[in-house]
Structure 1
């Protein structure tokens, strides 16, 4: 039997391993939906997601391994990478638009389409992994998160807000976001930043085992709060770029 190699691309589900050309993931409460979603995406011809291959003798979900690089940390991305991410997200949303999986919502959202859940080939994002948080929703839920994690940063060494805002516009252009969506995108960024902080607060006070170490959770709360404050302070800059 081939050796198991731990994978760390995702941040939430522990125990994910690679065995040869497959990935084995411990089951979660969302596994049944993920199975149905991945099978549906395959039927629709969407190539930016792994394939569901069944379950192993330990009850773990077996997925196809997508070759490429998964960034370990957020960083500054160039325009071509941001544009490719926007086009990839649009393809995912279009594949599920109006489907039974979307229910009463426009699409199925990934809900965590950050760079750490993207597979890069030749330095371009070509697929999204870790669909454990996928659920029906509004495209702006994903676009708000992607605008934040791919284009914006409160770090002192980051490009100025005007340059970040220009990339948010580039992302919206690549996605094909309409005028109404553009008017709501900055609010969607703020919403995802606030929700991210709250999500980690809940897990800080929740029962063990936690999804991360306490110090790591506290840092993610503080990071989300800093990002929210930064976006709020530069709200008009981001809004103007999307007009």
Structure 2
């Protein structure tokens, strides 16, 4: 990963955080001076999205046993999940109420309804990823489960994994890019020349750069002691050790 781009993202994040906190303070002062509660709720929730940014993982969704390590999507470790499932409906409720207040535009109530409908979709997507998505490491295999039922990598050995590649993927709605990890694999009964691929990142509560480093460490650890290899992978996943590879 380029030093310049990393520094730019850090400064951008700090600026966004500072502006968000400043806006929250302004809204609180305005509320104390008489600003309607629904405007205060809408502004504070909107500022919260700016403070958190695209994604903020508070703790890695990693569990360890002597034989394996499992990564999962854990919504209560993701700040963005709180925003989408709590701040979004609060904005919806405030918007609906504001739409019925005399002097406010009627379209606010329809925007509020749309936000509540979007919340239902977010809750469904969150539950689906929490229930389905996982990545299991053993010293010799990976077992991958994703939300899309059409993509079923299942259990893979090192010989079946052909490439592990970090990629910056643009969001189809906002256009913002997020780091994800592409795994190219080939099952033993595959009849095609091209390998199949699966993209990991947003479906697991692990920093993508740490996920990439852990996958590379596993792939390169064929001759390593099994316990030491799992220890190394766990340290990388939890961000306690420097990743073995950089984008």
TM over 0.5: no
- Report the structure number with the largest CA radius of gyration: 2
Q: TM-score, normalised by structure 2?
A: 0.28
